[in-house]
Structure 1
């Protein structure tokens, strides 16, 4: 009984760590590798790990003559919190290095879960506003557009927070966000402000798209977890459908009031506005990381990487490549440099990667497709182009991580079982070396 109790404690801490990673957006391969490594470091062998979109399962069979010990946890809440993700990543590394033991790891994990956010919620809302303003700069908006984008992003964040407290599903939150963004655009056009209403809608849509989870879905699909990938893609489709419903409703209200938002202006897309593009992308990425509770020490590297990546995207596009290929090259750059940058500021690469690609999310293509569909036109091609850009971003980042992360001999066995680079968790599986007891002589 004592041995089983000790085993259950090890399985429990591994499951709780996996739950924290999966709820923060980590890929199934990263979660599986981390849980396996934690159990291995605590002295448990013959462990089987099963990760799906909502369920984590660990089983251990001591021998063929004994029944397997199985524990399961369900992921019910998903909230991007890069501060907690970083603390858990450091905890795992200390555990694998033998700096702490299992009981201390359990205590530290309990403190992380119960401590809450150290960053005030009003600061997070302002951060989303700065993110919207950055997207406005990225798309070439004038000062009025940037101010409206700031107000729209803050308003959407407050609205989503209010709806989340009332436990409304994410689909309805996306509908409300898209509707609010479009109604703000309709209002600005109705009062005669010198703005392009489509830019206001686009900036707000980019904010909503940042939480969709394309990155995790494509990573799971590429690393051999099709079930989890399918669930994440379905969630992304539902979230996008919510945006479609909200934007369509707002456009319909505008047409009823006699306000025509006009055609979409693609915004800044040439190197003649390179300074504005780089500054907008850097501000957008840094503000998103801040609003996702990323450690302050990581904000500057994230902003620099996002700014250079946007410049790379523009350069490749100027050479005649398609938007998808340009996004893939820029994402490849992000993947290549994020691993080293994350190591220097002591955060998981996932924190840098996701934040840096937010300015390149295909908000313009999605808005163009939504506008055409709402007007009864053919917006399928634009939506397919947006999907191609999202896939290019995710696959480019993952390929960059393949090239950047060293594959050491000690990790080969684990990497063969779980294909794919680590965006969070251990790159190399290690076990704690236990001291041998010396027998008395004589």
Structure 2
């Protein structure tokens, strides 16, 4: 009898320990997933943490907003399952980085579960790195920098700053009132043409339509195209497809808002015309590189990139713009120039991530924001509204550019991680690159990750 009671007590203790580890693991995965990590990163994190705490036979999966973790008890062969529904996602790279560092500590040297939960609670409940008003200024800098990047002067840049500030202010208020995201984007898209109309009245010589393009770039900067492509190429087809539908929904709301507002302005005699020359001379190059840095700084403030990585993303943002300009002037076209630029930035980000101790995902996404195809999308909208079938081609080109940016950056990380690390076994277990986890670049390090 005593042996039976002892066995039952051990079984109960093991079950309680298993549930505690699974609960901690789910919480960590939820934080990085909601902060911007891909499904594969969150899944790999769950597998690595449970393995580090001694739980074998664990299976993890993510389907769009559902995070699942299952473990089979080796004694009773009964399965213990946990799931969480992630209802809200927003880019928060400071929280993502801090949680990634905690995951690295747990993988290398598992600490007491209670202590680990306390550290995670501190990360989740800590004050934002950047206050709300400064994040709003950040989005405004994205708009102002984008206006200069596509050829706008001081008046247009100021108008774009004001327009993007209003967009963020109004869409944030709508979000607090739980208005669906599609309608938020419709309202945000409609503001750009209205501000452009004011500029056209106040300063007729200014190219007011560039204000609309700047607001489009600002609104597209936070779209989940990168994550959707990452999840799809990594084999998480349902999650990737759902995120792609979300990106299309946001873009559809943007198109609806911009075209509806432009149509209304056309009825009162105010026509928006595109007059932007994508060809760049050497004399304009310094201005465009400076504008790309302004965009990167603004986006970094908006999504709270860690301060220690700010100089790196600025440098790589300028590099991305330079490679893109070089590619287009060499005749490679928009899509291939975007892909090659993303590839180059991704390779540089692999090295920079080690220097500033920040996940490559944070660096790459921020540095590639200046290449968002806002001008191509707006040109397609104007052509389509005028009955020109070439408008559809322009919009498809914009989608292809967005996809090429994500695919190029992902390919660079896959090449780096396959050649430089982690171990081959990790690459056999996971299809795509891990970009939000503390993967050590070296064959002899991070043994716990290599044994996943």
TM-score, normalisation: structure 2:
0.92
Report if the CA contact (8 A) 1:264-1:368 is conserved: no
> Are 1:419 and 2:431 matched, yes or no?
yes
Structure 1 residue 266 displacement after superposition: 4.1
Q: What residue in structure 2 maps to residue 239 of structure 1?
A: 250
Q: Using the alignment, how far apart are the partners of 1:226 and 1:164 within structure 2? A: 28
Question: CA distance change for structure 1 residues 332 and 19 in 2, over 3 Å: closer, same or farther?
Answer: same
Out of 359, 363, 366, the residue aligned to residue 374 of structure 2 is: 363
Which of the residues 283, 295, 298 maps onto 1:287?
298
Q: For the Cα contact (< 8 Å) 1:335–1:397, is it kept in 2? A: yes
Q: Indicate conservation of the 8 Å contact 1:251/1:374, yes or no.
A: no
Out of 6, 24, 35, the residue aligned to residue 13 of structure 1 is 24
Match of 1:176 in 2: 187
Structure-1 separation of matches of 2:286 and 2:317: 13
Q: 104, 129, 143: which one pairs with 1:93? A: 104
Q: Where do 5+ consecutive residues of structure 1 fail to align?
A: 433-442
CA distance 1:236–1:409, shift in 2 (3 Å): closer
Is 1:160 matched with 2:164? no
Aligned partner of 2:415 among 391, 397, 403: 403
1:25 paired residue among 14, 36, 49? 36
Which position in structure 2 is the counterpart of 1:437?
Answer: none
SS of 1:382's partner is: helix
1:376 lines up with 2:418 in the alignment: no
Stretches of structure 2 lacking an aligned partner (at least 5 in a row): 1-11, 441-445
Native 8 Å contact 2:52 2:107 kept in 1: yes
Task: Provide the rounded CA distance (Å) in 1 between the counterparts of 2:435 and 2:159.
Answer: 35
Task: Point out the more displaced range, 271-280 or 80-89.
Answer: 271-280
Residue 312 of structure 2 corresponds to which residue in structure 1? 301
C-alpha distance in structure 1 between counterparts of 2:335 and 2:105, whole Å: 40
Q: Secondary structure at the residue paired with 1:405? A: helix
Distance in 1 separating the partners of 2:422 and 2:203: 65
Other structure's SS at 1:73 match: strand
Question: Given the superposition, is the C-alpha separation of residues 337 and 409 from structure 1 closer, same or farther in structure 2, using an over 3 Å criterion?
Answer: closer
CA–CA distance in structure 2, aligned partners of residues 60 and 67 of structure 1: 8
User: 1:80 corresponds to which residue?
Assistant: 91
Question: How well do the aligned residues superpose, as a CA RMSD in angstroms?
Answer: 1.8
Partner of 2:7: none
Aligned equivalents of 1:411 and 1:276: distance in 2?
43
Aligned-pair distance for 1:410? 6.8
- Name the CA distance, whole Å, in 1 between partners of 2:422 and 2:376: 44
1:143 to 114, 129, 154: 154
| TM-aligned CA distance change 1:283 to 1:393, over 3 Å | same
- Confirm or deny that 1:265 pairs with 2:284: no
